Every structure is written in structure tokens, then in C-alpha cells.
Amino acid sequence: DVLALFRITPQPGVDPVEASAAIAGESSTATWTVVWTDLLTACDLYRAKAYKVDAVPNTNDQYFAYIAYDIDLFEEGSVANLTASIIGNVFGFKAVKALRLEDMRLPVAYLKTFQGPATGVIVERERMNMFGRPFLGATVKPKLGLSGRNYGRVVYEGLKGGLDFLKDDENINSQPFMRWKERFLYSMEAVNRAIAASGEIKGHYLNVTAATMEDMYERAEFAKALGSIIIMIDLVIGYTAIQTMAVWARKNDMILHLHRAGNSTYSRQKEHGMNFRVICKWMRMAGVDHIHAGTVVGKLEGDPLMIKGFYNTLLLSHLDVNLPQGIFFEQDW
């Protein structure tokens, strides 16, 4: 079964077990009332089951609801279909005041229907000829407003100064002050000059995020033609587009980076929304090579144990239960 852990805050007067069962039903076969068409199928088999409900420690109105979903409820290899059930209508359900998806366990049989990372960290190290230390990267700043020539100048100076990678930021796409093709040309010129000056392989994450898949394909193909080894996309393009670009990246031997733009709109609240560790699992399935996973220092919120849990979720081939890191399920990848 696919297992999901929800943090449930029932409405006053609603029994937590009843609320958990309602969440299980609404996210699988049920609706707001009983319908005679339930008799046309094996509803008892297909309906999700809330198999355990525990009070959340140090709270008086929150509960952990463990829900199991039959694997046949989901289309193979589709993050979009998985999310349509797990986070579909249930977050607006009247029976709960707040609802948060904390963690999931995905069966290996289901995981094997997904492509997985387009390239992988070992191949990336071979591509960069860099072993024995972490990659060192940075983001071009200011991220908006630079001309193409000045943008390329920043890329060159950073790479010549010792960085392995520089990258576009999430919202640099193709604005009037610098169109995408101009940025790609100047950035790759800077990469090639830095390689010649340092004798090391360098790279720049070229953001191919755009309004349509056709535009993203065009930008990705141009990046490949210029000799780039890596492209990037933003989380906001959607699960189907992410999987589509991951398939393209594998077919075209490109590394694929994902910027987690927009995730905090639903991951930062502690009672409602979704934990980022779930996004980590979904994006690992979708097929990106790496994703921003947060830092303990810097401008963004980050608890050391929580961040370590994100890293482990993204990197390890087997996860054991680790409650201090927020890992509620054993997971075999």
C-alpha cells in the first residue's frame, strides 16, 4: 500500500477518528454522501483506510492520521495522478480545521514505474571530473536587471574565482532587460572562458522555465547546442511539466536542477499544507537530479534536524524511521 501521514486538526466537536476516516474516503472513493453506484465496484477494496490515529505530542487538538491506499488507485509513473488523490479535495474538507501532509511511504513496485533522476550524482561527478569534495556553487546577483553582457561578466568572474557552478535564479526567464537567448549566449561564453583559464570543468544552470512546454523545449535544445551540461526548471511549472523535462534531460544527456520556487506557500505552515520532505520524495520520483533543500544558515527558515531529514530523503537508498528528523516511515528506494 501507499501510506500517508496527515496532521489533522478536526473542527470542534468532530471526533478525530471520524475525521481521519472522512479524509481517507474523500481522497480515494467516497464523497459527501452514500451513493448506490458504490455497489458497482469493490469499494471496500479501493477505499483508503485510516489504520491508526495518534494524538500529536504537546497539542490538545491535533492528531496524526495514518492512511493506507491500495496501489491500484494510482496510475503508474504519474506524480500528477498521485497528487490528485493525496492532496486533491481533502484540504478544503469541512470536517477539519486544518490538514497537513507530513510524510509518505511509496512501495518499491510503484516507485519502479517512475524514471527517477535524469542523470544522478555519480554521473554528474564524472561529467565534472570532480571527486572528494562538495561542489561549490552560487547564484548570480542581482538576479534581475542585469544586461546579458554584464550577466556573463558575473558568471565568468565567479567561475574563474573558484566556483564549480553558477546558476540563474528562479525568476530570471526572458524579460525585456535580458532575453533568454542573450543570457544563454553570454553565460556559456563565460563558462568556456573560465574553463580555458582554470583548466577545470565549469558549468552554469540555465533556467529554461517558460510559459509553455514548446518554449521550454526550445530553450533546453538551445542550451544543449551551446554545450551546456545542465539546465534548470522551477517547481511552479507543475508536476507534469517537471516529469516531461526530466524525460527530455535523460534522453539528451543533460543534468536537471529544480528550484523549489513557491514551495513555502504550503510547506511553511506547521498545521496546514504539506511538509517539504514529501516534495523531496515526489521530485525524486519525477526525475530531477537535484533540488534546493534548505540550509541551516542564511536568509530562509531551517531547523538543523529537519534539513538533515530532507537531505537524507533525497540522497539515501534506504530510509529508516527517524522521528527527530521528521521521517515517519521506512522507505526503500
Q: Catalytic pick from 167, 204, 257, 259? A: 259
What mean pLDDT, rounded, does the chain reach? 90
From CA 181, how far away is CA 174, in angstroms rounded? 8
Per CATH, the number for 2-111 is 3.30.70.150
Look at residue 155 and tell me whether its pLDDT is greater than 90. Answer: yes
Tens of pLDDT, residues 247-265:
999 999 999 999 988 778 7
Which one-letter amino acid corresponds to residue 220? Answer: A
What CATH fold (topology level) applies to the domain 121-292?
TIM Barrel (3.20.20)
Look at residue 325 and tell me whether its pLDDT is greater than 60. Answer: yes
The continuous run of DSSP H or E covering 2 comes out as strand 2-10
pLDDT at 300: 60
Q: Catalytic pick from 94, 141, 299, 318? A: 141
Domain ranges of the chain: 2-111, 121-292
From CA 89, how far away is CA 270, in angstroms rounded? 19
pLDDT band at 281 (very low <50, low <70, confident <90, very high): very high
Q: Supply the angle between the helices 239-251 and 213-225 in degrees, to the nearest 10.
A: 30
pTM of the shown model: 0.91
96 close to 11: Cβ distance less than 8 angstroms: yes
Beta-sheet strand order (sheet of 96-105): 49-55, 63-69, 2-10, 96-105, 273-274
52 flagged as catalytic: no
Tens of pLDDT, residues 198-223:
999 999 999 999 999 999 999 999 99
The continuous run of DSSP H or E covering 26 comes out as helix 16-26
167 flagged as catalytic: no
pLDDT band at 71 (very low <50, low <70, confident <90, very high): very high
Q: What is the DSSP annotation of 109-139?
A: HHHTTS---SS-HHHHHHHHT--SS---EEE
